[in-house]
Structure 1
Amino acid sequence: MKIIGIYLAAGNSTRMGTHKLALPVGTMSLGSLALETALNSPLDEIFVITKDIDDTEWIPSHMKSNAKCTIIQCPTSNEGQSESLRCGIQHAQERHADGVLVMLADQPFITVQMLSEMITCMSEKPDCRFVATTSKQVTMPPVLFSAYMYPELLKLRGDKGARAILKGDFLQQGKLLNCNDKRLVFDVDTVKDYETLKAFNKGNE
């Protein structure tokens, strides 16, 4: 089973007021934290979706040169997250991927264990349409979709993310993995979030 990671990194960082993926966290950048996790996971490839191919200084050179990493520019990313998602899926289809694991570049605490568990769940149950993360009964990224779901994902428009289709009948066609540690799905959107991340990182140095 070939699973490709779609690493969504084309956001405008509106709430942060600056390019958040380039913000320093210890010796790394915010955006490189989850990317490192993805590269160390069982994912076959990772597509980093960005709005500008030249705006990737936050990605360390050793990650850019990793054979699993491909940087893809999405020229329509300003029209909403669905554009970046669609861009990634179209490239995944060209690689004949059996599934895509959608990740957000601003979720720094995602672990290899989380991603591995999702991939294992789908590989053990071929008819599973998706494997999603839930915390306090809220579905959120990362989410793994089988190729069966590509047509539905490609229908999304505007700023609707992948979880927009995880409702109604579709919820009965996949598996939900409960995340008891809400820190693991913590995303950095604001200056306060960033300060929380830095404080946690400093405490673990």
Structure 2
Amino acid sequence: MPANRHEPSRFRRCPRSSIVTSKCVPPPEVETGVVLLAAGQAKRFGGGKLTATFRRQPLWEWAAQTAENIDFSERLMVIGPNSPINSRPGWRLVKNPVAERGMGTSIAVGVRALTDCDRVVILLADMPLVSRTHLCRFLKARGVAFTRYPDGTAGCPAIFPRPVFPLLETLAGDRGARSLDLGDAELIEPSHEGELVDVDELCDLQRLRSAD
């Protein structure tokens, strides 16, 4: 099972919601930030995963563009110490000096760097097909919420309220947020399973290219 996915212990399953209109904004009384994790070592891919071309642009830009189509109060991207990603308008880049130790360290670094958010959406840069519609559903969550995968596991994208930030900041290694005792959590289903494809190996990217 990928490190970003875990068997849920206690959750409330949310069915696929109706169509989300173009008016997709966080509640005005709630400051919602987004942290895009782009610090992975891509060892299984052979290196250079996030800058590999997909649909004529770097792979990581797809997730970034999707997040830019939502009115987040803060956009933060966690990158590795030697990342070729050096800037993007509307984003604050934060380096994770120990990115090689696993995704948990990047979650901790990202959450710790947030300035004034009431909650945060965690998004992965190697998931280029996640839709704006799916992310918008998280804005309606009342607490912790994860994406429900076809096999019933929970993973990213996910949203967390400020009271659990201190727990997220303790993550290390490949431990994801589901390894923590976060109490009840919602599971939000995507509109279709295809948008949950994550690129771990070169063959994953090749399949995406072939499907276009």
Work out whether the TM-score is over 0.5. Answer: yes
Q: Is the 8 A contact 1:103 1:142 kept in 2?
A: yes
Residue 145 (structure 1) aligns with? 160
Residue 80 (structure 2) aligns with? 51
Residue 205 (structure 2) aligns with? 194
TM-score when normalising by structure 1: 0.82
SS at match of 2:92: strand
Q: Which whole-Å CA distance do the structure 1 matches of 2:179 and 2:191 have between them?
A: 22
Structure 1 residues 54 and 175: alpha-carbon distance in aligned structure 2, compared to 1, 3 A threshold: closer
Structure 1 residues 35 and 176: alpha-carbon distance in aligned structure 2, compared to 1, 3 A threshold: same
SS at match of 2:50: helix
1:47-70 CA distance string (max 9 Å, x none): 11001365216xxx7xx123xx11
Structure 1 residues 54 and 134: alpha-carbon distance in aligned structure 2, compared to 1, 3 A threshold: closer
Displacement of 1:84 in angstroms is: 1.0
Q: Is the 8 A contact 2:39 2:83 kept in 1?
A: no
Alignment gaps of 5+ in structure 1: none
Residue 113 (structure 1) aligns with? 133
Structure 1 residues 26 and 179: alpha-carbon distance in aligned structure 2, compared to 1, 3 A threshold: closer
Q: Is the 8 A contact 2:147 2:188 kept in 1?
A: yes
Q: Which residue identity does 2:147 align to in structure 1? A: T
Structure 1 residues 22 and 45: alpha-carbon distance in aligned structure 2, compared to 1, 3 A threshold: same
Q: Is the 8 A contact 2:73 2:117 kept in 1?
A: no
Question: Which is helix-richer, 1 or 2?
Answer: 1
Taking only aligned residues, the RMSD between alpha carbons, in angstroms, comes to 1.7
Q: Which whole-Å CA distance do the structure 1 matches of 2:60 and 2:209 have between them?
A: 13
Residue 193 (structure 2) aligns with? 182
1:94-131 CA distance string (max 9 Å, x none): x1210111111000111111111101x23xx3xx2x11
Displacement of 1:163 in angstroms is: 2.8
Residue 134 (structure 1) aligns with? 148
Q: Which residue identity does 2:73 align to in structure 1? A: D
Displacement of 1:180 in angstroms is: 5.5
Number of aligned residues: 182
Q: Which residue identity does 2:146 align to in structure 1? A: A
Residue 72 (structure 1) aligns with? 94
Aligned with residue 85 of structure 1, among 93, 107, 132: 107
Q: Is the 8 A contact 1:42 1:116 kept in 2?
A: no
Range moving further from structure 2, 150-159 or 4-13: 150-159
Q: Which whole-Å CA distance do the structure 2 matches of 1:198 and 1:164 have between them?
A: 33
Q: Is the 8 A contact 1:141 1:163 kept in 2?
A: no
Residue 21 (structure 1) aligns with? 50
Relative contact order higher in (CA < 8 Å, ≥ 6 apart): 2
Q: Which residue identity does 1:158 align to in structure 2? A: G
TM-score when normalising by structure 2: 0.80
After superposing on structure 2, the runs of 4+ consecutive aligned residues of structure 1 that deviate more than 3 Å are none
Q: Which whole-Å CA distance do the structure 1 matches of 2:169 and 2:68 have between them?
A: 25
Aligned-residue sequence identity (percent) comes to 24
